[in-house]
Amino acid sequence: MRRLRILTVLCMVISTGLLLISTVYSKTTEDRTIPVIRCPETPLTVSMEDGGEAALLKDVTAWDEKDGDLTDRILLQGVDKRAGESTATATYAVVDSDNHVATRTREVRYTDYQPPRFALAKELRYSVGGALRIKDRLTAWDRIDGDLSGRIRVVSSSTSTYNEGTYPATFQVTNSLGDTADITLDIVVRSYEAGEPRIQLSEYLIYRKAGEAFDPLAYLESVSGADRADVEVRMPEDGLRQGVNQVTYTCTGENGSEGSATLYVVME
């Protein structure tokens, strides 16, 4: 019995010793270092066309005391851009072999950024009682995501196709950086009269900068039911101002009915 107790105590001492040795070894060999991500302090300047992941990782490196160079493991965690601004914050992350994570941010400046833009291929005019289809003519695009048409949503509208009239509607689109653009356009509900001239424009929504040349007749594509030379162009009374402007084209047919079309000019 005494021999059994001695054996038991001896086993406990050996187990405790082994546990102690294992703990000490683990403590002395455990990697407590955190990877370090390095990049220039100056903002990174890129164009929208070259602003892909490879460009945003330029001059960004990572090092870990145990693993050495971790540059090829750096991930672009995200790009946070403030709406309407040409700067953004890029966040980088890297993980070492012991699952230690390091992050770092860097300011990014886009040389040619512009918010999403809308385009209008047909006028927003519909016959009384007809179907109201917007997606077949209103589109959106930007240099970040390309085609954004599927993200367009109507945020304000009281349009009724059962009652003739002009109904303002506000459309909005947001790109992957969270930048939002919106525009208010008139939806016209009025059936075409017999003999009413049809004025066709090459575009119905364009963007212009202050001081940029603008010739409204350059967008007049064709006229049916009247002579092209009879088309009159009516500009806003105060000229083109910042924001959305309407330029109206009108002409009169042989039976006295008037045809019209509207070009929206967004001055930036």
pLDDT in tens, 33-75: 899 999 999 999 988 777 678 889 999 999 999 999 999 999 9
Task: Write down the pLDDT at residue 28.
Answer: 47
Q: Please tell me whether residues 184 and 226 are part of one structural domain.
A: no
The pLDDT assigned to 91 comes to: 95
Pair of tokens at residue 117: 């833009």
State the Cα–Cα distance between residues 179 and 82, nearest whole angstrom.
7
Task: Say if 257 falls within a structural domain.
Answer: yes
Residue pair 36/103 in contact (Cβ under 8 Å)? The answer is no
Residue 19 located in a structural domain: no
Note the pLDDT of residue 155: 92
Strand-pair category, 138-142 with 101-110: unpaired
In Å, how far are 199, 224, 247 from 227, measured between CA atoms?
Answer: 10, 8, 19
Structural domain includes residue 6: no
| pLDDT value at 15 more than 70 | no
Domain boundary among 110, 135, 150: 110
Q: What Cα–Cα distance (Å) separates residue 48 from each residue in 87, 118, 146, 162, 228?
A: 11, 18, 11, 45, 41
This prediction's pTM: 0.69
Rounded to an integer, what is the distance from CA 53 to the centroid of its chain? 16
Closest alpha carbon to 69 in 41, 32, 92, 97 = 97
In a domain, 125, yes or no: yes
The number of domains in the chain is 3
pLDDT band at 26 (very low <50, low <70, confident <90, very high): very low
Q: Residue 240 has what pLDDT?
A: 94
Give the Cα separation of 43 and 199 in Å (integer). 50
Residues 106 and 144 in one domain: no
Q: Are strands 180-189 and 125-126 parallel, antiparallel or unpaired?
A: parallel
- Domain range enclosing 215: 193-268
pLDDT range class, residue 250, cuts 50, 70, 90:
very high
The residue from 53, 88, 110 where one domain ends is 110
Asked if residues 44 and 30 have their Cβ atoms less than 8 Å apart, the reply is: no
User: What is the average pLDDT score of the chain?
Assistant: 87
Residue 213: inside a domain, yes or no?
Answer: yes
Give pLDDT, residue 199: 97
Is residue 244 in a domain? yes
In a domain, 102, yes or no: yes
Does 183 lie in the same domain as 199? no
Residue where a domain terminates, one of 89, 110, 131: 110
CATH code at 99? 2.60.40.10
Q: Which residue has the higher pLDDT, 154 or 54?
A: 154
Inform me whether the pLDDT recorded for 104 exceeds 60: yes
Answer whether residue 169 is part of any domain: yes
Q: Is the pLDDT of residue 154 over 80?
A: yes
Residue for token pair 């945020």: 155
